[in-house]
């Protein structure tokens, strides 16, 4: 994914044909940690953007008021405060209708998790679920943790980066304990080189250029054997890498059909298919719907973003 952070005033990179806007995390200086926290107002108007877009960073959202719908990867989550939501790098999301959300956001890149790499797996699982309803007690502890993060971020006292990472780690682990969350401890299920390879594979298959790659090609890219890649991915996820490649390919096709005006032939080519008819059979087999029917059901006029640009 393109550079994950940007300095204030750096113009956005316009999306290419068939892409949705990519928002990068704004940091105050080249040496500043890739982290930010604040209310929707403090983060800025893009925090409530009503057009589909992606991030280069994680976003933890604590919604305490508002209404409408939070759309993430085509799933629609009613805004019913208090809620906690996690949006992962690369996921397409936007806010729709109602009275815009009120609350706080915690933004950080993958690099900021260096002290607690096991949190990446927890965040991936939280992002797959996206939204969590909070009771009064849960709402209080989430709000208190985010308030501590915000105070530390504003004061920037000596050692504040370590404190921010530690508080964020507590927030992620405790969020994983919420009903419906991963409910696992702070340590990853696998560690060392196996975990690193599985993480690298998970990041690799989110890239548009990975569409159509085989397990062997991914293994070559990561500098391991196909057998070791399969072992590492199965240990980390319980699933074979080939299945995850298929799901990543379907996801990319769904995003292109829903959020761009590319033809089915162009979508097929973007996702590594030379034959549009074979692409249509593949898509129907995996989703139960033809590409045209999927587009008709999910696409909305304002979601066609090809040729537009957005701020970083």
Unique residue bearing structure tokens 């719907």: 289
In this predicted structure, what is the pLDDT of residue 111?
85
Round the average pLDDT of the chain to a whole number and report it: 86
Q: What is the pLDDT of residue 9?
A: 76
Helix segments in 93-240, DSSP class H: 119-129, 136-155, 160-176, 192-204, 215-222, 226-237
pLDDT at 308: 35
- Tokens standing for residue 138: 């849960």
* Residue 164 token pair: 């921010």
Indicate if the pLDDT at residue 303 is higher than 50. no
Cα torsion 134, 138, 140, 143 to 10°: value is -70
- Asked if residues 266 and 278 have their Cβ atoms less than 8 Å apart, the reply is no
Confidence of residue 1 (pLDDT cuts 50, 70, 90): very low
pLDDT digits (tens, 9 = 90+) for 231-258: 998 888 888 999 999 988 988 898 888 8
What confidence score (pLDDT) does residue 184 get?
A: 45
Residue 246 makes CB contacts below 8 A (sequence gap 6+) with: 286
Report DSSP state, residue 274. S
- pLDDT on residue 189: 53
* DSSP state letters, 219-242: HHHHTS-HHHHHHHHHHHHSS-HH
- Count CA atoms closer than 13 A to 3's CA, side-chain side: 11
* Cβ(305)–Cβ(52) below 8 Å: yes
When pLDDT is averaged across residues 171-199 and rounded to a whole number, the result is 76
The answer to whether the beta carbons of residues 131 and 84 sit under 8 Å apart is yes
pLDDT of residue 60: 97
Residues 23-46, mean pLDDT to the nearest whole number:
90
Grade residue 187 by pLDDT with cuts at 50, 70 and 90.
very low
CB 204 within 8 A of CB 222: yes
Task: Give the least confident one: 109-113, 114-118, 174-178, 264-268.
Answer: 114-118
**Rounded Cα distance, 1 and 23, in Å:** 11
pLDDT for res 18 = 67
Q: At what angle do helices 241-259 and 226-237 cross, to 10 degrees?
A: 70
pLDDT at 269: 92
Please say if the pLDDT value at position 106 is more than 70: yes
Check residue 185 and give its pLDDT: 44
pLDDT (0 to 100) of residue 84: 96
Sheet containing 83-87, strands listed edge to edge, beginning at the edge strand earlier in sequence: 35-39, 102-108, 58-65, 83-87, 131-133
Per-residue pLDDT band for 304 (boundaries 50, 70, 90) equals: very low
Question: In terms of pTM, does the model score above 0.75?
Answer: no
For residues 186 and 170, give the distance between their C-alpha atoms in angstroms, rounded to a whole number.
9
Read off the pLDDT band of 190 (50, 70, 90): low
Which tens digit of pLDDT belongs to each residue from 279-301?
Answer: 999 999 988 889 998 888 776 54
pLDDT value for 306: 36
Tell me what the mean pLDDT of segment 190-214 comes to. Answer: 83
| pLDDT tens per residue, range 60-98 | 999 999 999 999 987 889 999 999 999 998 888 999 988
Q: Return the minimum-mean-pLDDT range out of 156-165, 245-254, 271-280.
A: 245-254
């Amino acid at each position: 994914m393109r550079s994950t952070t940007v300095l204030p005033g750096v113009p956005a990179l316009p999306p290419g044909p068939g892409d949705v806007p990519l928002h990068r995390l704004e940091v105050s200086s080249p040496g500043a940690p890739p982290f930010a926290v604040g209310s929707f107002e403090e983060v800025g108007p893009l925090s409530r953007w009503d057009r589909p877009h992606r991030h280069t960073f994680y976003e933890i959202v604590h919604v305490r008021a508002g209404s409408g719908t939070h759309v993430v990867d085509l799933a629609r989550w009613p805004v019913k405060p208090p809620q906690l939501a996690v949006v992962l790098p690369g996921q397409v999301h936007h806010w729709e209708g109602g009275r815009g959300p009120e609350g706080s956001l915690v933004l950080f890149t993958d690099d900021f998790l260096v002290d607690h790499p096991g949190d990446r797996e927890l965040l991936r699982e939280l992002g797959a679920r996206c939204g969590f309803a909070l009771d009064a007690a849960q709402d209080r502890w989430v709000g208190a943790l985010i308030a501590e993060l915000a105070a530390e971020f504003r004061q920037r006292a000596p050692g504040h980066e370590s404190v921010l990472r530690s508080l964020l780690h507590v927030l992620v682990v405790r969020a994983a304990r919420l009903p419906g969350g991963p409910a696992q401890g702070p340590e990853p299920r696998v560690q060392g080189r196996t975990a690193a390879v599985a993480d690298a594979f998970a990041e690799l298959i989110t890239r548009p250029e990975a569409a159509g790659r085989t397990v062997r090609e991914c293994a070559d890219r990561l500098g391991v054997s196909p057998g070791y890649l399969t072992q590492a991915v199965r240990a980390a996820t319980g699933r074979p890498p080939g299945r995850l490649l298929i799901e990543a390919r379907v996801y990319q096709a769904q995003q292109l059909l829903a959020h761009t005006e590319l033809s089915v032939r162009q979508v097929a080519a973007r996702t590594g298919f030379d034959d549009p008819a074979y692409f249509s059979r593949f898509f129907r087999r995996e989703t139960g719907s033809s590409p045209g029917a999927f587009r008709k059901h999910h696409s909305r006029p304002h979601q066609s973003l090809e040729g537009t640009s957005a701020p970083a």
